[in-house]
Amino acid sequence: MDTPERTATSHHAAGRWTIVLLLLAVQIFANIDRQILNVVVEPVKAEFGLSDKVMGLLTGAAFSVFYAVLGVPLALLADRTNRRNLIAAALALWSAMTALCGMAATAFQLVLARIGVAVGEAGAGPASQSIVSDLFAPRERATPMAILAAGPNFGILFGFIAGSILSEMFGWRMAFIAVGVPGILMALILLAAMREPRRGMVEHIEEVPGEKLGFGDLLRTIAARPTLLLIIAGFSCAGMFGYGAIAWATAFFHRSYGLSPGEIGPLIGILVGVGGTVGTFAGGLLADRFGRRDVRWRLWIICIAAAVAAPLSTAAFLVQNQWLTLGLMAIPASVAIFHAGPSFALVQELVPLRLRALAAAFLLFCLNVIGGGLGPFLVGLMSDLMEPSLGRESLRYALMALTVPILLSLVFYFLASRRLKRDLAEAHAG
């Protein structure tokens, strides 16, 4: 049986960054499978005769609510069992369910398969963040967390490009099957290549034998440290913008500029995938660098990014030229994701050791219910309401409203920065 010392040594020798890259690969697979439906919104809508409001539910709430709700019990399991095994099992499940999406004969069957994807993906994110927290000290944690947070951007990049090409060549059903099957192989690679680290080994925190903290303990921690609640609120509002824009981007360019998914999908994938990846890394690196001078910079960086993203996002949907729209979207696609790495890192730092996976799950719960659930749905609802007067351009103005949650996220993160020093001191003392 491995001792803590041997485990720590083996992880140092094998390379903690290798583990981060393996977990990043898991996140990439998760987000390819999650985003593929956004690429094929129009053909799926046409085949099953659905409205924008229903498609908003299918791309948003049908996934996000189940992902969020199941994330809490699976995070409790991650805090008490082998996290690597849990991640591998989750990966195999959601990959198989993604392939089944391509075999759906009715809209209801597609919803059920989509829920299956959500159930699987709920097991990976919190456990991955908990593992990274065991490998990196707080002062350097935002950077590896940002790498994990880049998974959605890589997923969008590969998902939009592969999904667009596959759906154009073979139809939307084959797109689901082709991106789902490889994930099962990745689950086997993860089991063979990664070992479970000892909890708290980098911070030299010793676990209390038999300690089992629960959801009530997390709520009490949040109540005692308001910074946590404000970060969660800011993160969720930022998610409304991201999820809402991504869910409807392909449909917007099709309706307003007449571009097919095959024409615009790869461009959106590159724009959001590359730009978002750069922004995610930049947010983590800047937070770690400037945070050494003053920890509040870990949140001020996010506030500055949101202040830049808001007006450019509005302008992107106001202009009437497709290339100018893409150009204006490039900067918000990068800076609006600055919040990811610092938020994940701070949440892990502000809670006790045995609550880390659960805290990550609660953060993702709020992100997916508020951001992933409401973002796409509200855009679709507003588009339906404005369609009688604006026609095909109703989606343009519905997307413009996403500037509001960006500004709300700025307010919440700024308020969090005012309390950050005090709450971190209490967390470290406890």
Above 60 in pLDDT, residue 296?
A: yes
Q: Specify the amino acid at residue 301.
A: I
How far apart (Å, rounded) are the C-alpha atoms in residues 145 and 132?
7
Q: Say if CB 231 and CB 300 are below 8 A apart.
A: no
Mean pLDDT score of the chain, rounded to an integer?
A: 85
- On whether residue 272 sits in a domain, the answer given is yes
Q: How many domains does the chain have?
A: 1
**Domain residue limits at 177:** 12-198+212-429
For residue 115, pLDDT beyond 50: yes
Instruction: Please report whether residue 289 resides in a domain.
Output: yes
The confidence score (pLDDT) of residue 194 equals 87
Report the pLDDT value the prediction gives residue 377, as an integer from 0 to 100.
83
- Mean pLDDT across 374-391: 88
Tokens 């990745």 appear where?
186
Higher pLDDT, 186 or 364: 186
Asked if the model's pLDDT at residue 6 lies above 70, the reply is no
Helices 125-135 and 142-149: angle between axes, nearest 10 degrees: 150
Counting every residue, how long is the chain? Answer: 430
The position carrying tokens 């994807």 is 117
Q: Mention every residue, 6+ apart, whose C-beta is less than 8 A from residue 15.
A: none
For residue range 181-228, list pLDDT tens digits in order. Answer: 999 999 999 998 888 887 766 655 555 555 566 778 888 989 999 999
Q: Is the dihedral of CA 338, 341, 345, 347 positive or negative?
A: positive
pLDDT of residue 202: 66
pLDDT at residue 212, as a whole number: 64
Contact between residue 296 and residue 337 where contact means Cβ atoms under 8 Å apart: no
Q: What is the pLDDT of residue 5?
A: 39
Closest to 270 measured CA to CA, from 164, 342, 173, 170: 164
What's the rounded Cα separation, in Å, for the pair 246 and 244? 6
Indicate whether 415 belongs to any domain.
yes
Contacts of 135 (CB under 8 A, 6+ apart): 11, 16, 19, 20, 144, 197, 202
**Alpha-carbon gap, residue 279 to 146, rounded angstroms:** 9
Q: Is residue 203 part of a domain?
A: no
Say yes or no to pLDDT of 2 above 70: no
**Do the domain assignments include residue 155?**
yes
Whether residue 207 is contained in a domain is answered as no
The per-residue pLDDT for 70 is: 83
Neighbour-count burial of 13, counting CB atoms closer than 10 A to its CB (0-12 exposed, 13-18 middle, 19+ buried):
exposed
In sequence order, what are the residues at sequence separation of 6 or more whose Cβ sits closer than 8 angstroms to the Cβ of residue 218? 351, 355, 358, 359, 362
pLDDT of 303: 96
Picking from 274, 154, 190, the residue whose alpha carbon sits closest to that of residue 18 is 190
Q: Which domain CATH number covers 403?
A: 1.20.1250.20
Region 320-338 average pLDDT: 89
Examine residue 419 and state whether it is found in any structural domain, yes or no.
yes
d(CA 332, CA 291) in angstroms, rounded, equals: 23
Model confidence at 110: pLDDT above 80: yes
- Quote the pLDDT of residue 15: 79
Burial class (CB in 10 A: 0-12, 13-18, 19+), 240: buried
Q: Considering the domain boundaries, does residue 206 fall inside one? A: no
Q: Which helix (H) or strand (E) holds 214?
A: none
Q: How confident is the model at residue 7 (pLDDT cuts 50, 70, 90)?
A: very low
Torsional class of 51: left (φ above 0), alpha (ψ -120 to 50), beta (otherwise): beta
Higher pLDDT, 213 or 88: 88
Q: What is the pLDDT of residue 84?
A: 92
